[in-house]
Structures are given as structure tokens and as C-alpha cells.
Amino acid sequence: MDDLPKWDTEFWIYFSTNTSLSAFEGLLKLYEDQWIKERIRIDKLVDEYQNKYQVGNTPNDFEQYQIYEIASRANFSIFLGAYSVLESFLLKMCDLIQTEFDFEVKLDDLNPRNHLNHYKTYLTKVYGLEKEEFEKHYPEVFKYSILRNVLTHSDGNSVKSKLEKIKGIKGIKIYSYSNRSQVVIDDISFFESFFNLSKLFLEDIHKAVEKRYVQLTT
């Protein structure tokens, strides 16, 4: 990448980010295939024991619980890794723009509420991306940023009011108790929606950044 003309790096950032997201999709598929095999094996052992002895508990109960917990933890990890790639894309775009244009306001001069808003502010208010282009998928992406923070900082547990903000994300379940709630990634549709949205968002930002570059240099 160091050998590329400076602005050609923009396409490389876009391309490598897409490739990284696809790699996470591939990793998820490998995990899913393994989990399915293990769940079928363990569930069969549990069913056979219960039918034979007419009891509720079996010697394989812990193993059965553990495979579901492993799957849940792996889902968290894959999402957090993939989401970091998405945010990193925006940071790299901002850094590249700063090397190409000498805007008075720098990324570090801004006082953001969070990383996503930080990059949004720089790209729209400093670089000059049309807000409508950036906002097309941004509200949904922002929901995933809230989910990312809840998973990272409190293992999916938060006050009910915060988790209200992520309602509508496919493939999650929110369990409420007292004044708090627990969110879990419950279905593969979560990843289908997240990866599809991420790639649409990346493409839109990539095209908008290129369009603005042409406007500023011609």
C-alpha cells in the first residue's frame, strides 16, 4: 500500500475492508458448521438418556449447556471483530483525507460523543460529504455501535433505556428483569443483516468520498 499513489490508497482501504468483512463471514460459517455437528451429537445423547431412564437431568447436561454458551460467546466475538473493521474503515478514510487536504479543522480538534459520530462529523462538516449520502444507512449502523458498546463494556447487560435504542435489530433477543436487560445474539439472521448493511454502508461512503474528491480537485 505504501507504493500506491496517495489517493489510490482510498480504493485499497475500501477493498481491504470488504475483504475483511468477508473473512469474518467465512469464519462464522466454519464455526456454525462445527456447532451444528456438536449440537446434534449432544442433543441426541441427552434425548436418548432421558427416554431410557425417564429423567430430566442427564450426564450430558453441562456439555449441552457449554456448546450453546460457546456459540453465544463466539457470536459476540465475531460481531465485535467485524464491527471494529467497519469503524476502522471510517478512521482510515479520515486519516487519508487529512494527508491529502490541508483543512484547518483536524480530526483531533473535534469533540465527539463517540467514535462513529466523530468520523461522521469530520466527513460531513469538514470534508463536505453530503449529509443525505452519509445518513442513508447511518441510523441502522449507529444501532450496532450501541450494541457493540453494551457487549464490550458490560457483557450485553445494560439499563433498559439503552437497550430500547437497539430494538429492530434482527436476530437478537432482549431479556428484561428489574430495571436492567440482557441482550443476546440469538439467530443467524443477525449476521446476515449486519454484513449486508455494512457492505452497503461501505459502498455508499466509498462512492461519496470519491465524488467529493473529484469536486475538490477539479
* Residue 165 belongs to some domain of the structure: yes
For position 63, what pLDDT does the model report? 87
Q: Is the pLDDT of residue 2 over 70?
A: no
> 122 lies in a domain?
yes
- In the chain, how many domains are there? 1
What does the pLDDT read at residue 177? 86
How is residue 151 written as a grid cell? 457487549
Q: Which domain holds residue 163?
A: 8-217
2 inside domain: no
Please state which of the ranges 4-13, 94-103, 161-170, 203-212 shows the lowest mean pLDDT. Answer: 4-13
Average pLDDT over residues 174-181: 89
Residue 1 lies in a domain: no
* Mean per-residue pLDDT over the chain, rounded: 92
Indicate if the pLDDT at residue 138 is higher than 90.
Answer: yes
**How far is CA 44 from each of CA 62, 70, 186, 188, rounded to the nearest angstrom?**
14, 18, 22, 22
Residue at 171 is within a domain: yes
Please calculate the CA angle 217-91-194 and round it to the nearest 5 degrees. 115
Residue 212 lies in a domain: yes
For residue 130, being part of any structural domain is answered with yes
Cα(93)–Cα(204) distance, rounded to whole angstroms? 13
In a domain, 205, yes or no: yes
